[in-house]
Amino acid sequence: MNWFKYSSPQSFFPLAGRIALGFGALALLTCVAGLYIGFFRAPTDAQQGEAYRIIFIHVPAAWMSMFLYLVMAFWAGWGLAFNTRLSSMMASAIAPTGAMFTFVALWTGSLWGKPTWGTWWVWDARLTSELILLFLYFGFMALQAAIDDARRADKAGAVLALVGVVNVPIIYFSVKWWNTLHQGASISLTKSPTMAATMLTGMAVMAFGFWFYSIAAVLMRARCIMLERERASDWATRYARGST
Amino acid sequence: MNWGNWNEFFAMGGYAFFVWGSYLVTLVLMTAEIALLALRKRGALERLRAHGARAPGPR
């Protein structure tokens, strides 16, 4: 199998469509299973009562927000280094989904913080660095949107994305490096190991669900970007005229 | 099983606003993203059909 075949938008386009459909269906199933475990299998938390159930979206969303940034920066950097247009398209396709998950992490964190910490927001290291991540995503998208020439937009965005990578380990280790209101490990929520097991399972299943969702959403957006950018090419027009 | 009935489930032990506020917003955002992407694709295809490259059909 020739892998380089799929480095051109024309041949990646149909493959991306099939992958997106498959992972979209998988995401739906996985999220339903994760929610079932989270709401009906995982027991009430000894200290936080039912408020802790926010964890099943908060932690997976926070993981995705950081992971997607790394993948985005990787593709942006790859496109910058090797001048491959599909890599840059992938980076642009990831940004809005990453920003969405960053917002979800902040939003659910805020709704979790109010009943447990007594405040919607606090300028501690974890929360502040996650907010900076949201601004980095916004900055990347705004910068790309502000430059008319797609290839130049890719390059400028890539530099911003790569510089912003420094923020990801800061988010991840912030709870260790600084004295934060945000807790450290989420696994230590409960006392008995059996309780932790179902909670952890629910969280892990939801994380996979969000992961599959991200693959589907990003590839759907990548396909849109391919159609928009390749509008002068034969294959895009043929595809559009064939799919009426 | 954690809940005796559906009312208990929806009450979330008094944390309904926080728990459902989290889940609802997440659900809306994820559904909206997929819907917007479907619309974006439809728009791109319409533009391509209207003024894409060259004439339709085989060359």
pLDDT, one tens digit per residue, over A70-117 is: 999 999 999 999 999 999 999 999 999 999 999 999 999 999 999 999
Taking the C-alpha atoms of residue A178 and residue A36, their distance in angstroms, rounded to an integer, is: 36
The residue of chain A with its CA nearest to that of B11 is: A50
CB contact under 8 A, A50 and B19: yes
* Distances, alpha carbon A186 to alpha carbons A23, A26, A81, A150, A191, in Å: 27, 26, 38, 42, 12
CB contact under 8 A, A213 and B30: yes
For A49: left if phi > 0, alpha if psi spans -120 to 50, otherwise beta; the answer is left
Mean pLDDT along residues A223-244:
89
Pull the structure tokens for residue A154. Answer: 């890719």
Contacts of A221 in chain B (CB under 8 A): 37, 40
Taking the C-alpha atoms of residue A126 and residue B48, their distance in angstroms, rounded to an integer, is: 45
User: Taking the model in full, what pTM does it have?
Assistant: 0.92
- Report whether pLDDT(B49) > 60: yes
Identify from A56, A111, A213, A225 which residue to disrupt to test chain B contact, counting B C-beta atoms within 10 A and taking the largest count. A111
Any idea of the CA torsion for A209, A211, A217, A220, to the nearest 10 degrees? -110
CB contact under 8 A, B33 and A217: yes
CATH 1.20.120 fits A15-237, yes or no: yes
**Of B46 and A196, more confident:** B46
- Report whether pLDDT(A192) > 50: no
Say which residues have a Cβ less than 8 Å from residue B56's Cβ, sequence separation at least 6.
Answer: A237, A238, A241
Residue A181 binned pLDDT confidence (cut-offs 50, 70, 90): confident
The domain segmentation of chain A, as residue ranges, is 15-237
Contacts of B45 in chain A (CB under 8 A): 227, 239-240, 243
Pull the structure tokens for residue A152. Answer: 């130049």
Taking the C-alpha atoms of residue A103 and residue A237, their distance in angstroms, rounded to an integer, is: 36
Lowest-pLDDT choice from A44-48, A76-80, A103-107, B43-47: A44-48
Query: A49: helix, coil or strand?
Result: strand
Contacts of B47 in chain A (CB under 8 A): 231
Taking the C-alpha atoms of residue B33 and residue B39, their distance in angstroms, rounded to an integer, is: 10
Pull the structure tokens for residue A149. Answer: 């020439």
* Whether the Cβ atoms of residue A131 and residue A156 lie closer than 8 Å to each other: no
- Report whether pLDDT(B59) > 50: no
CA A114-A119-A123 angle, to 5 degrees, is 130
Looking at the partner chain, which of B2, B3, B52 has a beta carbon nearest the beta carbon of A237? B52
Residue A193 binned pLDDT confidence (cut-offs 50, 70, 90): very low
Say which residues have a Cβ less than 8 Å from residue A18's Cβ, sequence separation at least 6.
Answer: none
User: What whole-number percentage of chain B has pLDDT above 70?
Assistant: 88
Q: Which helix (H) or strand (E) holds A48?
A: none
Pull the structure tokens for residue A107. Answer: 């939003």
Looking at the partner chain, which of B18, B29, B44 has a beta carbon nearest the beta carbon of A227? B44
Contacts of B3 in chain A (CB under 8 A): 40
Neighbours of A47 (CB within 10 A): 10
Please name the amino acid found at residue B40.
R
pLDDT in tens, A130-158: 999 999 999 999 999 999 999 999 999 99
Query: Within 13 Å and on the Cβ side, how many CA atoms surround B27?
Result: 11
Interface of A with B in 104-133 (CB under 8 A): 104, 107-108, 111-112, 114-115
**Of A243 and A68, more confident:** A68
Query: A239: helix, coil or strand?
Result: helix
Interface of B with A in 8-47 (CB under 8 A): 9, 12-15, 17-19, 21-23, 25-26, 29-30, 33-34, 37-38, 40-41, 44-47
* Whether the Cβ atoms of residue A113 and residue A48 lie closer than 8 Å to each other: no
The residue of chain B with its CA nearest to that of A113 is: B18
CA A118-A185-B8 angle, to 5 degrees, is 55
The residue of chain A with its CA nearest to that of B59 is: A234
Taking the C-alpha atoms of residue A162 and residue A203, their distance in angstroms, rounded to an integer, is: 29
* Whether the Cβ atoms of residue B37 and residue A228 lie closer than 8 Å to each other: no
